[in-house]
């Protein structure tokens, strides 16, 4: 009789999904990481994102509510590589016991100024480009790190996390192929563009499109007249056909550069943030797809 009761109970446990109050609380520093955590965590995880859609993760000012959310969380998922400079103080002030998960662990990082001239106005600690998610192969490393962190925090969910991650990784493989196919449609000589800040270095390295940006890897700094003059010279010398706006940045700089050079404004690229549900890029996959289509339609034939 007791044995039957135990079997019945364990059957029940297997059938009933984790109830809301039993979900693993995870805080993600910005919207793209929040999307990854949701994709891998599924029903078992309650995700909160600190820097929401169209927010700028480089220059965020945390609120007391953010500290409360971190205090209550089991995991705090961060990009690292100097992206969330405001985060260590927030975690400290929250007094919580959350495990910090740095999802860029294992990624081959790139130097912030590898391809451009030194910007001069960059802050001293910005030697590494933090925008690793812009390469889909890197996003796969993010997802694997998130999967492993969720399993460590919630071993009972291992099978679920593994299945969700495998399904999502397969989608990312398809996305990576799609990006490569789209880039192949752009004539080799036209694979160069201007964007506002240096957010596409990993994308450039992975897919062979050059990006030049008046701002460095952070949106924090001001653009000098010298930087703008340099960009205008580069656009003319390299006959760069199109410049692109970014969802997180002030459009006026790019509009001015377009006006002075005659380069077309090719559209808006999503660099560091997703959009709200009804926008062009509510998920990471939508974002990458939107960006490559925007680039192809501006640069392709
Ligand atoms: Zn950025």
> pLDDT tens-digit profile of 18-62?
554 589 999 999 999 999 999 999 999 999 999 998 899 999 999
Q: How far is CA 83 from CA 48, 97, 220, in A?
A: 18, 22, 11
Return d(Cα 14, Cα 38) in angstroms, integer: 21
- Ligand 1 mean position to 246 CA, how many Å? 10
pLDDT for res 172: 98
Q: Does a structural domain hold residue 219?
A: yes
Both 35 and 149 in one domain: the answer is: yes
**Does pLDDT of 1 surpass 80?**
no
Q: 147 exposed, middle or buried (CB, 10 Å; 0-12, 13-18, 19+)?
A: buried
Tens-digit pLDDT profile for residues 30-41: 999 999 999 999
- Ligand 1 mean position to 169 CA, how many Å? 24
Both 157 and 43 in one domain: the answer is: yes
Residues paired with 210 in a beta bridge: 192
Q: Does a structural domain hold residue 136?
A: yes
Both 56 and 98 in one domain: the answer is: yes
- Ligand 1 mean position to 158 CA, how many Å? 33
Half-sphere exposure of residue 254: CA atoms within 13 angstroms, side-chain side: 24
Q: Are 149 and 99 in contact (CB under 8 A)?
A: yes
- Ligand 1 mean position to 256 CA, how many Å? 21
Report if pTM > 0.85: yes
- Ligand 1 mean position to 270 CA, how many Å? 10
Residues paired with 268 in a beta bridge: 245
pLDDT for res 119: 42
Count the neighbouring beta carbons within 10 Å of the beta carbon of residue 9. 10
Both 165 and 186 in one domain: the answer is: no
- Ligand 1 mean position to 117 CA, how many Å? 18
**Does pLDDT of 206 surpass 90?**
yes
Domain boundary at 141, 175, 209, which? Answer: 175
Q: Does a structural domain hold residue 5?
A: no
Order of strands across the sheet with 210-212? 210-212, 192-194, 242-246, 264-269
The whole-angstrom distance between residue 134's C-alpha and the CA centroid of its chain comes to: 6
Q: Are 191 and 183 in contact (CB under 8 A)?
A: yes
- Ligand 1 mean position to 160 CA, how many Å? 32
Tell me what the mean pLDDT of segment 99-113 comes to.
93
For the chain, counts of helices (H) and of strands (E): 10, 8
**Does pLDDT of 16 surpass 90?**
no
- Ligand 1 mean position to 84 CA, how many Å? 10
- Ligand 1 mean position to 216 CA, how many Å? 9
Q: 3-class SS at 85?
A: coil
- Ligand 1 mean position to 38 CA, how many Å? 22
Q: How many domains does the chain have?
A: 2
pLDDT for res 239: 86
Question: What's the angle, vertex CA 44, arms to CA 70 and CA 137, rounded to 5?
Answer: 80
- Ligand 1 mean position to 113 CA, how many Å? 14
Both 163 and 63 in one domain: the answer is: yes
Q: Are 246 and 58 in contact (CB under 8 A)?
A: no
- Ligand 1 mean position to 81 CA, how many Å? 12
Count the neighbouring beta carbons within 10 Å of the beta carbon of residue 263. 22
End-to-end distance of the chain based on CA atoms, in angstroms? Answer: 74
Both 127 and 47 in one domain: the answer is: yes
Q: 3-class SS at 252?
A: helix
Both 130 and 234 in one domain: the answer is: no
Domain boundary at 175, 190, 207, which? Answer: 175
Mean pLDDT of the chain: 88
Both 171 and 88 in one domain: the answer is: yes
Both 235 and 257 in one domain: the answer is: yes
Q: Are 151 and 45 in contact (CB under 8 A)?
A: no
- Ligand 1 mean position to 222 CA, how many Å? 14
The domain of 93 spans 20-175
Both 250 and 157 in one domain: the answer is: no
Both 241 and 114 in one domain: the answer is: no
CATH code for the domain of 273: 3.40.50.1980
- Ligand 1 mean position to 292 CA, how many Å? 18
Domain boundary at 175, 195, 218, which? Answer: 175
Question: What's the angle, vertex CA 7, arms to CA 2 and CA 12, rounded to 5?
Answer: 125
The whole-angstrom distance between residue 95's C-alpha and the CA centroid of its chain comes to: 27
Q: Which residues surround the ion ligand 1 when the cut-off is CB under 5 Å?
A: 199, 272
- Ligand 1 mean position to 249 CA, how many Å? 9
């Amino acid at each position: 009789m007791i044995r039957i009761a135990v079997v019945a109970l364990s059957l029940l446990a297997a059938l009933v999904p984790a109830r809301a109050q039993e979900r693993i609380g995870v805080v993600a520093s910005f919207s793209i990481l929040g999307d990854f955590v949701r994709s891998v965590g599924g029903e078992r995880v309650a995700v909160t994102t600190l820097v929401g859609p169209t927010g700028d993760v480089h220059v965020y000012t945390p609120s007391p509510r953010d500290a409360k959310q971190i205090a209550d969380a089991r995991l705090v998922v961060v990009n690292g590589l100097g992206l969330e400079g405001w985060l260590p103080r927030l975690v400290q002030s929250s007094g919580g016991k959350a495990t910090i998960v740095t999802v860029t662990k294992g990624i081959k990082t790139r130097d912030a100024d590898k391809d451009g001239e030194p910007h001069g106005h960059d802050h001293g600690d910005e030697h590494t480009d933090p925008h690793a998610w812009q390469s889909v192969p890197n996003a796969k490393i993010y997802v694997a790190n998130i999967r492993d962190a969720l399993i460590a925090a919630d071993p009972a969910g291992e099978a679920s996390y593994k299945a969700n991650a495998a399904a999502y990784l397969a989608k990312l493989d398809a996305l990576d192929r799609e990006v490569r196919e789209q880039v192949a449609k752009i004539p080799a000589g036209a694979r160069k563009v201007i964007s506002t800040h240096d957010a596409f270095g990993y994308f450039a390295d992975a897919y062979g499109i050059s990006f030049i940006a008046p701002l460095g890897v952070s949106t924090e700094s001001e653009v000098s007249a010298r930087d703008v003059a340099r960009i205008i010279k580069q656009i003319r010398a390299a006959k760069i056909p199109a410049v692109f706006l970014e969802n997180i940045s002030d459009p006026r700089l790019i509009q001015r550069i377009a006006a002075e050079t005659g380069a077309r404004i090719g559209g808006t690229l999503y660099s560091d943030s997703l959009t709200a549900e009804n926008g062009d890029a509510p998920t990471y996959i939508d974002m990458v797809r939107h960006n490559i289509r925007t680039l192809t339609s501006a640069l392709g034939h």
